[in-house]
Amino acid sequence: MTDPKKVSASGRDRRQYPRAPMKIQVNYKSVKKGQVSSLRKSLSQDLSAGGLGMESISKLQQGQMLAVNLFIPRGKKYVKVKEIQDFSQDECRITPVLCRVVYCASQRKNKYKLGIQFLDLDKENRKVLRDFLLQCQLIKPTSRLYT
């Protein structure tokens, strides 16, 4: 398994985008060899422009594809990113995204920490995610990400 913390030889984090603690609902199905799993529910632990971290009761393989629904909060004036935010489903917009498992690390009995990379969003949902990331100050207004 790949180590969940991507640290360079100098000890600095090599992630492409900054992450912030964020607890949002994540529903997902894993796709493996044409087989689609039943719907599973989780909560993110952190979020970035490139993906998210979440917990799973299932061990998933590195590189495995996931069909994910993110529950992106809507209508929030300000989101504090120094602490974990928790949003109810009623306050959210469901945003589907194709993802890939970057790592799966055992945390405790029957619990795994997953690193998930965003791969594909349609135009409308790119805007939803971009607006939310701007609001959380995880990207700058000049960023061309998700445009």
Q: What is the pLDDT of residues 108-118, one digit of tens each?
A: 888 999 999 99
3-state helix, strand, coil in the chain (%, to 5): 10, 45, 45
How would residue 65 be classed by pLDDT, with cut points 50, 70 and 90? very high
Query: Residue 89 carries which DSSP code?
Result: G
**Length of the chain, in residues:** 147
Superfamily of domain 20-135, CATH level 4: predicted glycosyltransferase like domains (2.40.10.220)
Q: Domain limits of the chain?
A: 20-135
Whether residue 24 has pLDDT greater than 90: no
Quick check: helix, strand or coil at residue 93? strand
Q: 125 versus 146: which is more confidently predicted?
A: 125
To 10 degrees, the CA torsion angle through 25, 27, 32, 38?
140
Q: What would the pLDDT profile of 67-83 be if each residue is shown by its tens digit?
A: 999 988 776 554 555 55
| pLDDT band for position 34 (cuts 50, 70, 90) | confident
DSSP designation for 62: T
Tell me the average pLDDT across 104-110.
88
d(CA 14, CA 41): 29
Q: Are the C-beta atoms of residues 74 and 127 closer than 8 Å to each other?
A: no
Residue 130 has pLDDT above 60, yes or no: yes
Average pLDDT, the chain: 79
5-15 residue pLDDT tens: 443 333 345 56
